[in-house]
Amino acid sequence: MAAFALPQSLAAAAERDDFPDRRDWVATLPSTVAKLSARWSLRLLEPYQPGGQCSWVAPAIDQEGRPRVLKVGWRHVDNEHESLALQAIAGRGAVLVHDAYEDATTSAMLLERCAPGAALAESRPEAEQDEIVAGLLRRLWATPIDGPFRSLATMCDEWATEFEERFTPEMLDPGLARAGIALFRALSLDVVEPVLLWTDLHAENVLAAEREPWLAIDPKPYVGDRAYDVLQHLLNCRERLATDPIGLAGRIAALLDLDPLRVTRWLFARCVQESLGVQRFRAAAIALAPAAEL
C-alpha cells in the first residue's frame, strides 16, 4: 500500500463517540498493522471496502507468494474467541486461520483468502442461499465444543437487559415486547443438545472459494441452541421476512430438521429484540406472534 487507508465503515464508526475505546484503537491502527505485517512478512494490498465497523481487513501476499488475508480487529465481546472457533473448525466449511495474535486491545488473524471471493448474497437467489447456508451450518455444528466459549444464554440475557433499558411503549405493544423478551431468555436456557454456534451466518458472510465452493467467515462463537443459529440469515431475507415470516422460518427448519415451532418462536423473540428503532422487525414480530403460541 502506498499509504495507510481506513475502510469506509470503520472510518465512519471511528468518527462517532459511542465507543471511545474503539476510536482510540483506530488511531493506533497504522502502527499495529505495520507491526503485524512485519511479524508475518506480508505485502499488503488495499483494504476491503466498505469493510466492517470493528476491524481492518485486507488481502495480502506472504513471503512465499501465497495469497492471504490480514484481519485486525478491535478486541471486544463480539469477536472474543473468533480465532479459537476457526481453529476448532479447521477449514470444514469455513476459512482457515494460519496464525493469530492478541493483545489487550487487538485481535488479529492471518487467514485463508477466498477466491473468487464473491459473497453468496450477490451470487445466488435466496432459495439457493437457504440451502447453502443450511449445508454449512450442518457441518459447523459438528465441531467439538472444546474451548472457553461463552454460553448463548449469557449473550441473550445481556441483549434482553439492554432492550428493557431502552424500550418505550410507542416502539411496540408492551405486552408483546414483554412476551418476546421473556421468550428470548427462556429459549436460550432450554437447550437439549448444545453445539458451537456461529451466530452471525448469513449470505454476506459466505464467500465463493476454490478449496470448497463456499466458505463461511466472521464467526461470533457461542455455545447453545442450534435453532438460534439460523436467525441472522432469516433476518437478512428482507422480502420474505416482511411477506411470509412464518413460511420463512418453516423452510429453514425443514432444511435443517429443526422444530419449526421452535424456529418460529426464536424468530419472533429476536424480531422483538431487534425492534428498537427498526420498523420492519416490529412488523415481523407482530406477524409472528400468533404462530409463536404465546
Kindly give, in sequence order, each residue whose CB lies less than 8 Å from that of residue 97, ignoring residues fewer than 6 positions away. Answer: 83, 86, 87, 109, 110, 111, 112
Q: Is the dihedral of CA 199, 203, 206, 212 positive or negative?
A: positive
Q: What is the pTM of this model?
A: 0.94
Local confidence pLDDT in tens for the 294 residues of the chain: 557 899 999 999 888 867 888 999 999 999 999 999 999 999 999 999 999 999 999 999 999 999 999 999 999 887 889 999 999 999 999 999 999 999 999 999 999 999 999 999 999 999 999 999 999 999 999 999 988 999 999 999 999 999 999 999 989 999 999 999 999 999 999 998 999 999 999 999 999 999 999 999 999 999 999 999 999 999 999 999 999 999 999 999 999 999 999 999 999 999 999 999 899 999 999 999 999 876
Q: 60 pairs with which residues across the strands?
A: 44, 68
149, 84 Cβ separation under 8 angstroms: yes
Q: 207: which 3 cell numbers?
A: 464467500
